[in-house]
């Protein structure tokens, strides 16, 4: 009887050692896992999750992960969401990922200089975003953001945002809105002295114009300096992008002289001061440039057709630059003679 008990004990020890060795191997061995996205629905148990991974050939068995979860006290901590696991991950690392909820995140690029409508198009086209704002007007969307008093243009910070499946379009707008409000207030509180801007909203308007005028970060402080100089002197800003924005859907890609002379609330050729709202979403560099403009005497600038601009202090110099860079050296009447201050 004693011999049988010893035999049973020895057998039990051998089994235990074998199971323990297998579990130690299973928990720490690199998994041959593919790049698929594994979805964990709300309420899924650790056991069901392990079986699903085993069926997909991601785990060597359907129980070792469950045992590991019980041993580490994480059996009930599985977080719902979408997961993608790196090649060679161990079960220990995999368990840590799913109990901490490190789910798949999707990038959404909202580009500097885009309009609010372009932001909405990008959000509507983003995968895995739950759409809740379809069919709503701009005013209704701003009401959802608890800011019915604000025009939406310029109020959302352009950046790359990462989101998880099921994030709503409203949540993404809330994040971009909060980022812009914080950035504007921080820049406004640290602004240069003696700027001809009454408040942070005027700074946002001017920043949107600077954003549309150049894609070169190095030029933004200079272009901001030109507009600041013109505002100080009471000169019209004469910014083509403001006219284009005011034209809306009627703009066909070709800005004509008659367009510059046609009056609208957004025409900075026919009206003094700033337009009533921003004309695009400015980035942080444009905001900083407007509130810290470069010291310059320039009052004009013209494109060199290579992404840069020629800056001039007098109308005569500006007209010469227009002839050189825009008219290929041919002198003829053009808008600067008739429109510029």
Is 3 part of a structural domain of the chain? no
Is 303 part of a structural domain of the chain? yes
Instruction: Reduce the DSSP state of residue 40 to 3 states and report it.
Output: strand
> Do 28 and 94 share a domain, yes or no?
yes
pTM score, whole prediction: 0.85
Is 5 part of a structural domain of the chain? no
Is 202 part of a structural domain of the chain? yes
Name the domain boundary from 42, 77, 100.
100
> Do 168 and 121 share a domain, yes or no?
yes
> Do 209 and 291 share a domain, yes or no?
yes
Q: What is the pLDDT of residue 22?
A: 61
Q: What is the pLDDT of residue 18?
A: 46
> Do 35 and 77 share a domain, yes or no?
yes
* CATH code (residue 36): 3.30.1490
| Residue 311 φ then ψ, to 5° | -105, 140
Residue corresponding to tokens 């079986």:
51
Q: What is the pLDDT of residue 327?
A: 82
| Mean pLDDT over each residue of the chain, to the nearest integer | 90
Name the domain boundary from 139, 160, 184.
184
| Residue 52 φ then ψ, to 5° | -65, -45
> Do 50 and 172 share a domain, yes or no?
no
pLDDT digits (tens, 9 = 90+) for 187-246: 999 999 999 999 999 999 999 999 999 888 999 999 999 999 999 999 999 999 999 999
Q: What is the pLDDT of residue 16?
A: 44
Is 237 part of a structural domain of the chain? yes
Paired sense of beta strands 160-163 and 106-109, if any: antiparallel
> Do 158 and 210 share a domain, yes or no?
no
> Do 317 and 196 share a domain, yes or no?
yes
CA angle (123 as vertex; 111, 134 as ends), nearest 5: 140
Name the domain boundary from 184, 212, 245.
184
**Domains contained in the chain, number:** 3
Q: What is the pLDDT of residue 14?
A: 47
Instruction: Reduce the DSSP state of residue 11 to 3 states and report it.
Output: helix
Residue range(s) defining the domain that contains residue 328: 192-339
Q: What is the pLDDT of residue 341?
A: 40
Is 177 part of a structural domain of the chain? yes
Is 7 part of a structural domain of the chain? no
Q: How does pLDDT run along the chain (341 residues), one tens digit per residue?
A: 445 566 554 445 444 444 456 676 668 888 988 888 999 999 999 999 999 999 999 998 989 999 999 999 999 999 999 999 998 999 999 999 999 999 999 999 999 999 999 999 999 999 999 999 999 999 999 999 999 999 999 999 999 999 999 999 999 999 999 999 999 999 999 999 999 999 999 999 999 999 999 888 999 999 999 999 999 999 999 999 999 999 999 999 888 889 999 999 999 999 999 999 999 999 999 999 999 999 999 999 998 888 899 999 999 999 999 899 888 766 665 444 434 44
pLDDT digits (tens, 9 = 90+) for 194-210: 999 999 999 999 999 99
pLDDT digits (tens, 9 = 90+) for 79-100: 999 999 998 999 999 999 999 9
> Do 126 and 16 share a domain, yes or no?
no
> Do 324 and 197 share a domain, yes or no?
yes
> Do 153 and 254 share a domain, yes or no?
no
Give the DSSP per-residue string, 154-213: T-S--SEEEE-TT-BHHHHHHHHHHHHHHHHHHHHHTPPSS-S--SHHHHHHHHHHHHHH
CA proximity to 76, closest of 92, 58, 98, 60:
98
> Do 159 and 259 share a domain, yes or no?
no
Is 178 part of a structural domain of the chain? yes
> Do 111 and 173 share a domain, yes or no?
yes
How far, in Å, CA of 217 to CA of 290, rounded? 12
How far, in Å, CA of 271 to CA of 259, rounded? 13
């Amino acid at each position: 009887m004693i011999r049988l008990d010893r035999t049973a004990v020895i057998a039990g020890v051998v089994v235990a050692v074998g199971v323990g060795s297998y579990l130690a191997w299973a928990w720490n061995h690199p998994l041959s896992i593919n790049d698929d996205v594994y979805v964990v629905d709300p309420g899924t148990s650790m056991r069901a999750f392990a079986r699903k991974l085993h069926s997909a050939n991601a785990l060597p068995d359907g129980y070792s992960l469950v045992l590991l979860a019980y041993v580490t006290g994480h059996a009930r901590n599985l977080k719902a969401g979408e997961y993608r696991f790196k090649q060679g991950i161990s079960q220990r690392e995999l368990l840590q990922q799913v109990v901490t909820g490190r789910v798949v995140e999707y990038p959404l690029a909202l580009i500097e200089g885009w309009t609010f409508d372009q932001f909405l198009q990008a959000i509507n086209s983003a995968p895995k975003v739950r759409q809740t704002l379809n069919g709503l007007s701009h005013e209704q969307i701003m009401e959802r953001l608890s800011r019915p008093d604000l025009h939406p243009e310029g109020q959302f910070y352009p950046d790359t945002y990462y989101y998880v499946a099921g994030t709503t379009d409203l949540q993404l707008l809330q994040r971009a809105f909060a980022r812009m409000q914080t950035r504007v207030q921080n820049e406004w509180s640290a602004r240069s002295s003696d700027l001809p801007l009454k408040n942070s909203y005027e700074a946002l308007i001017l920043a949107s114009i600077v954003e549309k005028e150049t894609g070169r970060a190095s030029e933004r402080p200079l272009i901001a300096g030109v507009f600041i100089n013109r505002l100080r002197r009471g000169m019209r800003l004469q910014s083509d992008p403001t006219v284009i924005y005011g034209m809306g859907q009627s703009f066909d890609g070709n800005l004509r002289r008659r367009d510059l002379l046609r009056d609208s609330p957004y025409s900075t050729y026919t009206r003094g001061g700033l337009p009533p709202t921003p004309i695009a979403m400015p980035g942080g560099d444009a905001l900083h440039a407007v509130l810290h403009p470069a010291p310059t005497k320039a009052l004009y600038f013209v494109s060199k057709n290579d992404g840069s601009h020629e800056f001039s202090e007098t109308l005569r110099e500006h007209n010469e630059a227009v002839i050189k860079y825009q008219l290929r050296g041919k002198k003829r009447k053009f808008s600067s003679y008739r429109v510029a201050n």
